[in-house]
Amino acid sequence: MKFAIYGAGAIGAFLGAKLSLAGEDVTLIARSTLQAMRDRGVRVRSPQGDFTAHPAVTDDPKKIGPVDYLFLTVKAHSLTQIAPQMGPMLGPETAVVSAQNGIPWWYFQRYSGPLAGTHLESVDPGGIISRAVAPGRVIGCVIYPATEMPEPGLIHHLEGDRFSIGELEGVTTVRCKALARALIKAGLKCPIRSDIRRDLWVKLLGNMAFNPISALARGTMGEIAAHPFTSRLARAMMEEADAVARALGVEMPVTVDQRMAGAEKVGPHKTSMLLDAEAGKPLELESLVGAVVELGEHLGVPMPNTRAVYACAKLLDQVSTARGR
């Protein structure tokens, strides 16, 4: 099968390297890491064993042509920039695998629950992504590996190998089975989920609280969970998000207490949003927090704690990006 992976950061390059090593036809679409990956391949350091793979790498999607699966592994706020460039890779049967954190642009597509058909301006301003990707192409994906890229082309795979996938309607399709087989052949776990939206919420419950608090306080997950004030704030935010999820008919299989205990066990781990803030990069704020606030507005769910943290994180995003640090 033919794969394109748009976004050759730590997750995209790790996935592309695994698929390439398993014999799949893979092209990474990269920018700043392009030359390093062309020169030295994708070098992966992992507890499961180190390896180097040499997938094709380009910065021009037009050179790839139609693919069977197009993985989107860029940060959610970059989707509006790349959406108009996807066209040359989309053949009649191309599936687009959305692998972003948080609430995706497609959440209410092919959906029959509360707020069906709602457009979320926070994650798809002006409908740019929705116009570029037809709902029938989308396969949802929740990513669990923890990876870092300390230098271009070098991936530190810390833990995790699961990429959960699912159709928006919850059915098991031929294309999902084929994708799961390819990822499993590459040494990854790929369960096909009957409710991919619930899986998104389970991961989001912790991310929507710990990510922005860590960026604002410059604290690790363990430090936030152990501190009496920030732990109460994180708990309050998660309770607000849980109320939004329940209003949408999503029953969480984990409790806020379990998420707090899990964060404390993680210990000195910097969230992706904290790393971006330290590097002066744009924060993945809208899909993780802004969309939850927008949903709260639609559903009439009060979110005072989330709104306060969101407001401060919005200013941090503006100031740190402008300063580049």
Q: Which strand ranges, in their side-by-side order, compose the sheet holding 146-151?
A: 51-53, 42-45, 154-159, 146-151
pTM: 0.95
Alpha carbons 200 and 175: distance in angstroms, whole number = 20
Q: Are the C-beta atoms of residues 41 and 52 closer than 8 Å to each other? A: yes
Strands 154-159 and 146-151: antiparallel
Q: Are the C-beta atoms of residues 42 and 153 closer than 8 Å to each other? A: yes
Alpha carbons 65 and 77: distance in angstroms, whole number = 25
Alpha carbons 200 and 164: distance in angstroms, whole number = 10
For residue 203, indicate whether it is catalytic.
Answer: yes
Q: Which tokens sit at 287?
A: 């899909």
- What's phi and psi for 221, nearest 5 deg? -60, -45
Q: Which of 203, 270, 281, 314 is catalytic?
A: 203
Q: Which amino acid makes up residue 115? A: L
Alpha carbons 252 and 30: distance in angstroms, whole number = 36
Q: Which domains does the chain have, with CATH numbers?
A: 2-194 (3.40.50.720), 198-315 (1.10.1040.10)
Q: Which tokens sit at 138?
A: 């989308």
Burial, 42: exposed, middle or buried (Cβ in 10 Å; 0-12, 13-18, 19+)?
A: buried
Along the 325 residues of the chain, how does pLDDT read in single tens digits? 999 999 999 999 999 999 999 999 999 999 889 999 999 999 999 999 999 999 999 999 999 999 999 999 999 999 999 999 999 999 999 999 999 999 999 999 999 999 999 999 999 999 999 999 999 999 999 999 999 999 999 999 999 999 999 999 999 999 999 999 999 999 999 999 999 999 999 999 999 999 999 999 999 999 999 999 999 999 999 999 999 999 999 989 999 999 999 888 888 889 999 999 998 899 999 999 999 999 999 999 999 999 999 999 999 999 987 776 5
The neighbour count for residue 186, using CB atoms within 10 Å, is 21
